[in-house]
Amino acid sequence: MSIIRVHDKQFEPYLTANEISARIKTLAGQLDKDYAGKRPLFIAILNGSFIFAADLFKELTMEAEICFIKLASYKGTKSSGQVITAIGLDTDLFGRDVVIVEDIVDTGKTLSEFLPQLKHQQPASMKIVALLHKPEATVFPIPIDYLGFAIPNKFVVGYGLDYDGLGRNIREIYKLVE
Ligand code: IMP
């Protein structure tokens, strides 16, 4: 692995495909154990989590469902600021054990605005699995129940994550060279 270029920026190797898949196997093992006999519903947030969600889901041996949603933010009223809505959430969450699948939690803004909307539907439980978390970037603290890797506050691409649309198909995770 060496330095790569995406658009106008250079990125250096950070996590190998082997490191990522080993960590995902461990996470899947924990989930299998914690949700044994429960048939949880995984909700993967597009676009960034599509590869992580697929690889994680393949490793699970329990009965589980998965659906994919996209978050759209639009300007609400002045008092509410940005409003985030979910597109494609067609399953009733009432009484379900829900596991949100995110690629990366950065400031925590997205999930902090979106989670209360899901809780409104009264799931039996709601946990979060995130591949990456930048603890130093936290503005809105989010409890991440299953975390792949805590990473420095650097921009990363690859394994589903993009820089301005590109880089999602890179098998490893690269971080910005500054
Ligand atoms: P938050 O609302 O600040 O936690 O941001 C979450 C979203 O920002 C993620 O789901 C990503 O889509 C995007 N994001 C944050 N950091 C990065 C990064 O380093 N690379 C690519 N996308 C990122």
Full residue range of the structural domain in which residue 133 is found = 17-151
Is residue 174 domain-resident? no
Q: Which amino acid, 17?
A: A
pLDDT at 103: 97
- The values of phi and psi at residue 13, to 5°, are -55, 140
Is residue 1 domain-resident? no
CATH number, domain with residue 104? 3.40.50.2020
Q: Which two tokens stand for residue 48?
A: 């960034």
Catalytic positions are 106
Give the position, in ligand 1's atom list, of the atom nearest the Cα of 155. 19
pLDDT at 7: 97
Ligand 1 mean position, distance from CA 49 (Å): 11
Burial of 39 (0-12, 13-18, 19+ CB in 10 A): exposed
Is residue 109 domain-resident? yes
What's the structural domain count of the chain?
1
Q: Whose CA is nearest to atom 15 of ligand 1?
A: 106
Separation between Cα atoms, residue 158 and residue 14, nearest integer Å: 10
Q: Rounded to the nearest 5 degrees, what angle is found at the Cα of 59, between the Cα atoms of 109 and 104? A: 15
Separation between Cα atoms, residue 128 and residue 147, nearest integer Å: 8
Is residue 74 domain-resident? yes
pLDDT at 73: 77
Ligand 1 mean position, distance from CA 37 (Å): 33
Rounded average pLDDT per 10-residue block, the chain, 178 residues: 94 98 98 97 97 98 97 67 82 97 96 93 98 97 97 98 97 97
Is residue 175 domain-resident? no
pTM strictly above 0.75: yes
Q: How far apart are the first and last CA of the chain?
A: 18
Going 34 to 35 to 37 to 38, the CA torsion angle's sign is: positive
Q: Whose CA is nearest to atom 3 of ligand 1?
A: 107
pLDDT at 110: 92
Q: Is the CB of 104 within 6 Å of ligand 1? A: yes
Is residue 97 domain-resident? yes
Q: Is the CB of 129 within 6 Å of ligand 1? A: no
Dihedral angle computed from the Cα positions of residues 46, 29, 145 and 42, in that order, rounded to the nearest 10 degrees: 30
